[in-house]
Every structure is written in structure tokens, then in C-alpha cells.
Copies of this chain bind each other. A is one copy, B any other.
Amino acid sequence: MFLEKLNTIISTKKTLLCVGLDPDIEQIPPFLLSKLDPLLYFNQKIVEATGPYAAAYKLNLAFYEALGIAGWDLLEKTLALLPEDAVVIADAKRADVPNTSRKYAEAYFKTYGFDAVTVSPYMGLDALEPFLEHEDRGIFVLCLTSNPGSADFQQLPVNEDPLYLKVAERVMEWNFIYGNCGLVVGGTHFNEIERIRSVAPSLPFLIPGVGAQGGNLEWAVRYGTDERGLGALINASRSILYASQDRDFDRAAAEKARALRDQINQVLQAAGK
């Protein structure tokens, strides 16, 4: 079961940190460009440096897909580098008619062996069922995203409540059936996290936006976690990956990862979790 695996890793390694492994040829340290395979080398060094501090790695597929065939080769080789004691999430934000979602689910869970995937709720339950039916895998449904555009539709009022709360409620219902649901909740909406946690007390939250996007770490940790201080992943991508543009980029990434893990654990301690 995905949630058990996640919580076991969180408890054992004492970290909620998720490292977003989104390599960008325009942002990696320039000295790497002379390597045979700069992005693979970069990923390898980042994984080695951050492994001890990471409960999870999240690979946003856009960064791989943008490279064409070479990107899917990079994805496969990167997946082979990831440590056993971390869950691996495909940040895909997919969903389609059932016949098609089945193909995506096969791709992520069978072809690539991810532990979990992010999906979009707009097309409704039957578009998500082909993912949910993989009962040993986790499905994080977009609820309230970290970007300003989350105001355009996610926060529109449906009867009394904002749409994102309706999404959280429905995902809770689906979780009673499938048992493997979670939510993506942006760390930039610190007032709303508490509200979402109150309607979805048992779901794991994947929380991006506390790094480069400037979210509030304290609220993300306090209300993102369940009552035991588990069931949450705090993701940082650019703030860790690009901590330095020099030859020490991997040590700088390790430092950032360790510091963020420690900050998170301090909040948990202060909250008595």
C-alpha cells in the first residue's frame, strides 16, 4: 500500500522532504555542459547528495518530455538511480477518458514503475479510475495548486464552498472505495491548507510551492501533515537543484535539503507532532 510505504519511510528517515528532480539544461551549472550526458550526470549527483534527506523524489515529466526521445531515456536512467528508501512520484497531472487514462496508468505504473502519480480532477472520477485501480500505487489529485491561476477556477464558489473544497470532498469519498488517494495542495495557500486538511483528515498531501514559489513552510507542515505528523510531502525543486552554479552544486544541494528537512522537523516539534 502506497500510504503505508510513504509513512514508513517518513518515520524511519525522519523527513517529509520531497525533492523535485526537474533538470533543465539552461539552469544546471555551466561546467556540466562538457560532460557526455550533462543532465544524467546532474541528476545522479543531486540524488547522491540529497538521498539521506529525501522521503520522496518527484519527477515532473514535462522536463523529460521536452527533450524528445533523449528525455525518456534520461527518465529511465534516472529512475534506476533513485534510492530504495524513497517513494517516486510521476508529476504528470494527466487524466483522460477511461480508455486513454488506462494507457497513462500503464505507462507510469508498469512501464516506468512509479509509486505514485499526480492527476487532474477536471474530467471526473471515471478519468481517474484507471489510476485508482492500481491499488498498491498512490494517486495525488490536484486540489489547490500553488500558482496564481489557481484563482481562476479552483476558487470559484460552488454553492457555498470553493471548487477546490468540493474536489477534496469527492477525493475523500473515492478514497473510501480505493484507499490510495492523496491531494496536491500548494504551499502558497497557507490559510487554505488548514481548511482542506479539515475535510480530508486522512489523505496524504503533496505540497509544492514552499521553495522558489515562496510558500509558507510553517503552515504547510503544521496543517499539511495528519495528526501524527505523517502523510505529507513538502516538495522543493529549483531551490535545491540550483543552490549553486559552481562545482560544489551537489554539496550545496545537500546543504539546502538538509536545512529544509531540519526546518520542517522543527515545525513538527513545535506543533507537538
> Chain A: residues with CB nearer than 8 A to chain B?
22, 24, 60, 62-63, 65-69, 72-73, 76, 91, 93-101, 103-104, 106-107, 111-112, 120-128, 142, 145-154, 156-159, 163, 166-167, 170, 208, 213, 238
Which residue of B96, B98, B166 contacts A156 across the interface (Cβ within 8 Å)?
B166
**In the complex the two chains form, is A147's CB within 8 Å of B127's CB?**
yes
| Docked CA distance A94–B72 (Å) | 17
Quick check: A96 and B60 within 8 Å, CB to CB?
yes
Interfacial chain B residues near A170, Cβ < 8 Å: 152-153
Residues of B within 8 A of A98 (CB): 147
The oligomer's copy count stands at: 2
Q: Which of A63, A76, A97, A103 has the most CB of B within 10 A?
A: A97
Contact A68 B122 (CB under 8 A): no
Are the C-beta atoms of A62 and B123 separated by less than 8 Å? no
Q: How far is the CB of A269 from chain B (nearest CB, A)?
A: 31
Q: Of residues A22, A60, A99, which shows the largest number of chain B Cβ atoms within 10 Å of its Cβ?
A: A99
Question: Cα distance A198–B36 when bound, in Å?
Answer: 56
| A-B pairs with beta carbons under 8 Å apart, 30 shown | A22-B100, A62-B100, A62-B101, A62-B103, A62-B104, A63-B100, A66-B107, A66-B111, A68-B112, A69-B72, A72-B72, A93-B94, A93-B95, A93-B123, A97-B146, A120-B120, A120-B122, A120-B123, A122-B145, A123-B154, A124-B153, A124-B154, A126-B148, A126-B149, A127-B149, A152-B170, A153-B163, A153-B170, A158-B158, A163-B163
The answer for the CA separation of A242 and B110 in the assembled complex, in Å, is: 25
Q: How far is the CB of A132 from chain B (nearest CB, A)?
A: 12
Shortest Cβ distance from residue A152 to the other chain B in the assembled complex, whole angstroms: 3
Question: Could you say which residues of chain B place their CB within 8 Å of the CB of A97?
Answer: 145-147, 208, 213
Distance between Cα atoms of A108 and B272 in the complex (Å): 48
